[in-house]
């Protein structure tokens, strides 16, 4: 009984239209591959059209610059002609209307990695790659404000006429161009329509491209608390959307990658539109804050290295010893003072590069001047090594501590507030 109940509940949540599209398009493209020869003109057309619609095979972004960076994140302003172009390109990738898509995407950013995240990476790669599109989540996606999109007449127009638009732009147009242009109706249908849509769904990382997949592969140079990652390969497949760790930190930035050598053609496309007067108000996050996030993660990495290294005892761990006690104890073991610290050099004497004699001459004495240039100006490594031999602090000598070992002066300290 319980099994039937849960199956019925699951069936009730299936998005049938998406299921049919996701099964029929690859099936028909495979059938086409076996039965219809691929003509050169059709191949070129598939590429040009794919480029215009979802960008995975080439460079112009309908989903990435339109659905994602413009409507989901308002990272720039687009003129009406550009909005129409992007919204038609986006529709023909058959990934839902902008209105629906952007709402889910905003919840994803707001509730990343939680059950309210419609593409929660914690539910597994298959779910976040394609499953989320087939089955409505049992929990409704978390609330996201879409009032701006409700008031955008172009977005509302596409939402209302979505199925008609995909019929014309997603299927009719690609078939008609190949059919009327060079008489290849079948090729147009199988390749320009079916195969292109299949690729749009899978190569570009299922529906919203990298987003889901970009939570699996790569590095976290800006923040490691969320699953979003940066990876060149995802960037390559998704016109730059793979720099996803950056994107989750700075979602209103029209760029997903800031360095010149990083592959972000969507950014170049938006910048080119701005140069042509089609886009304006390109938003960027302050460089200073970007560097800060990056540095934080670098320091975190170094902190890990630092934690795996043994460090000299700190001031609070050492006994404070009077000059007389120091003198007395120095008769039993080789103790030397440098910079207010008492060091037991017993195990090191033999290995002293300047010779045993020079070092033993300083036992029971203050060797600060000799150590710091009077006899020989010791290296950073020597300062660090000496610090490891600390056994005490000379009473009244701490004020003279000037040469803390270099490894200690640059130490990364985690402050608890
Ligand atoms: Zn994401
Ligand atoms: Zn986003």
Q: Residue 272's pLDDT is what?
A: 94
320 and 285 in a single domain? The answer is no
The bound ligand whose nearest atom lies closest to the alpha carbon of 117 is: 1
292 and 374 in a single domain? The answer is no
The bound ligand whose nearest atom lies closest to the alpha carbon of 211 is: 1
Q: Residue 181 falls within a domain, yes or no?
A: yes
- 229, 220 contact by CB (below 8 A): yes
Q: Which of 296, 328, 344 is the last residue of a domain?
A: 296
Q: Residue 367 falls within a domain, yes or no?
A: yes
For 363, phi and psi rounded to 5 degrees? -60, 130
**182 CB-side CA count, 13 A:** 13
CA of 116 to the centre of ligand 2 (A): 16
320 and 278 in a single domain? The answer is no
335 and 228 in a single domain? The answer is no
Domain range for 73 is: 10-296
Q: Residue 239 falls within a domain, yes or no?
A: yes
Q: Which residues of 347-368 are buried (b: 16+ CB within 10 A; e: fewer)?
A: ebeeeeeeeeeebeebbbebbb
The bound ligand whose nearest atom lies closest to the alpha carbon of 251 is: 2
Q: Which of 238, 268, 296 is the last residue of a domain?
A: 296
Tell which residue, 259, 255, 260, 256, has the closest CA to residue 245: 256
CA of 212 to the centre of ligand 1 (A): 6
The token pair at 43 is: 């191949």
Q: How far apart are the first and last CA of the chain?
A: 54
Determine which helix (DSSP H) or strand (DSSP E) holds 394, and give its type and residue range.
strand 390-394
- Strand pairing partners for 393? 320, 341
Q: Long-range pairs for 80-87 at CB < 8 Å and ≥24 separation?
A: 80/154, 81/278, 82/273, 82/278, 82/279, 83/154, 84/154, 86/61, 86/62, 87/154, 87/155, 87/158
pTM beyond cutoff 0.85: no
188 and 158 in a single domain? The answer is yes
Q: Residue 128 falls within a domain, yes or no?
A: yes
283 and 401 in a single domain? The answer is no
- Name the domain count of the chain: 2
180 and 70 in a single domain? The answer is yes
Q: Which of 296, 327, 359 is the last residue of a domain?
A: 296
265 and 212 in a single domain? The answer is yes
Q: Residue 185's pLDDT is what?
A: 92
The bound ligand whose nearest atom lies closest to the alpha carbon of 63 is: 2
The bound ligand whose nearest atom lies closest to the alpha carbon of 227 is: 1
Q: Residue 20 falls within a domain, yes or no?
A: yes
Q: Residue 245's pLDDT is what?
A: 87
- 213, 129 contact by CB (below 8 A): yes
Q: Which residues of 257-285 are buried (b: 16+ CB within 10 A; e: fewer)?
A: bbeeebbbbbbbbbbebbeeebbeebbeb
Q: Residue 365's pLDDT is what?
A: 92
Determine which helix (DSSP H) or strand (DSSP E) holds 320, and give its type and residue range.
strand 320-321
One digit per residue, the tens of pLDDT, for the chain of length 417 reads: 677 777 777 777 888 888 888 888 889 988 988 888 888 888 888 777 776 665 433 334 688 899 999 999 999 999 999 999 899 888 877 778 999 989 989 998 998 888 888 777 676 767 766 676 777 777 777 888 999 999 999 999 999 999 999 889 888 988 998 999 899 999 889 988 888 878 777 655 443 444 656 777 778 888 887 778 887 777 777 777 878 889 988 999 999 888 888 888 889 999 999 999 999 999 999 999 989 888 888 888 888 899 899 988 887 889 999 999 999 999 999 999 998 899 999 999 899 988 889 889 999 999 988 888 888 888 888 988 999 999 999 988 755 555 677 777 788 888 777
Give the relative orientation of helices 153-160 and 80-92 as an angle to the nearest 10 degrees: 30
Q: Residue 5 falls within a domain, yes or no?
A: no
248 and 364 in a single domain? The answer is no
The bound ligand whose nearest atom lies closest to the alpha carbon of 72 is: 2
The bound ligand whose nearest atom lies closest to the alpha carbon of 215 is: 1
The bound ligand whose nearest atom lies closest to the alpha carbon of 68 is: 2
The bound ligand whose nearest atom lies closest to the alpha carbon of 74 is: 2
- 70, 76 contact by CB (below 8 A): yes
- 228, 71 contact by CB (below 8 A): no
292 and 330 in a single domain? The answer is no
Q: What is the CATH number of the domain that holds 369?
A: 3.10.120.10
CA of 126 to the centre of ligand 2 (A): 20
The token pair at 396 is: 């009244």
CA of 390 to the centre of ligand 2 (A): 53
CA of 83 to the centre of ligand 1 (A): 23
CA of 152 to the centre of ligand 1 (A): 24
CA of 256 to the centre of ligand 1 (A): 12
CA of 3 to the centre of ligand 1 (A): 33
Q: Residue 270 falls within a domain, yes or no?
A: yes
- 177, 45 contact by CB (below 8 A): yes
CA of 170 to the centre of ligand 1 (A): 26
> What's the rounded Cα separation, in Å, for the pair 415 and 296?
13
CA of 243 to the centre of ligand 1 (A): 10
209 and 179 in a single domain? The answer is yes
Tell which residue, 145, 42, 169, has the closest CA to residue 95: 169
167 and 239 in a single domain? The answer is yes
Q: Residue 380 falls within a domain, yes or no?
A: yes
- 206, 196 contact by CB (below 8 A): no
The bound ligand whose nearest atom lies closest to the alpha carbon of 212 is: 1
Count of CB atoms situated within 10 Å of the CB of 386: 22
Tell which residue, 384, 393, 392, has the closest CA to residue 306: 384
């Amino acid at each position: 009984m319980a099994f039937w109940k849960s199956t019925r509940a699951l069936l009730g949540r299936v998005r049938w239209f998406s299921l049919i599209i996701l099964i029929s398009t690859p099936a028909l493209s495979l059938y086409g591959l076996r039965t219809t020869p691929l003509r050169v003109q059709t191949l070129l057309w598939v590429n040009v059209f794919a480029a215009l619609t979802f960008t995975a095979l080439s460079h112009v972004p309908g989903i990435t610059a339109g659905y994602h960076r413009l409507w989901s994140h308002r990272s720039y302003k687009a003129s009406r002609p550009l909005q129409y172009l992007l919204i038609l390109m986006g529709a023909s990738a058959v990934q839902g209307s902008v209105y629906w898509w952007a709402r889910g995407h905003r919840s994803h950013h707001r509730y990343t990695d939680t059950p309210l995240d419609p593409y929660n990476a914690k539910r597994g790669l298959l779910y976040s790659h394609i499953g989320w599109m087939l089955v409505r989540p049992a929990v409704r996606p978390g609330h996201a404000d879409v009032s701006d999109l409700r008031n955008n007449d172009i977005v509302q127009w596409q939402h209302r006429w979505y199925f008609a638009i995909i019929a014309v732009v997603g299927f009719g147009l690609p078939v008609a161009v190949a059919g009327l242009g060079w008489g290849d109706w079948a090729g147009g249908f199988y390749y320009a329509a079916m195969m292109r849509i299949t690729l749009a769904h899978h190569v570009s990382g299922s529906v919203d491209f990298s987003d889901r997949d970009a939570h699996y592969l790569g590095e976290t140079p800006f923040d490691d608390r969320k699953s979003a990652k940066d990876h060149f390969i995802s960037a390559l497949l998704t016109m730059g959307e793979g720099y996803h760790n950056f994107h989750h930190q700075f979602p209103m930035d029209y760029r997903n990658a800031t360095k010149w050598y990083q592959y972000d053609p969507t950014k170049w496309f938006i910048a080119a539109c701005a140069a042509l007067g089609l886009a304006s108000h390109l938003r960027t996050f302050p460089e200073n804050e970007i560097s800060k996030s990056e540095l934080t993660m670098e320091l975190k990495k170094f902190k890990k290295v630092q934690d795996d290294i043994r460090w000299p005892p700190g001031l609070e761990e050492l006994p404070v010893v009077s000059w007389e006690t120091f003198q007395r104890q120095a008769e039993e073991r080789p103790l030397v003072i440098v910079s207010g610290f008492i060091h037991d050099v017993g195990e090191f004497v033999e290995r002293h590069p300047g010779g045993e004699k020079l070092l033993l001459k300083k036992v029971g004495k203050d060797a600060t001047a000799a150590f710091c240039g009077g006899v020989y100006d010791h290296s950073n490594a020597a300062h660090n090594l000496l610090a490891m031999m600390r056994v005490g602090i000379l009473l009244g000598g701490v004020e003279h501590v000037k040469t803390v070992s270099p490894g200690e002066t640059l130490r990364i300290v985690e402050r608890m507030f």
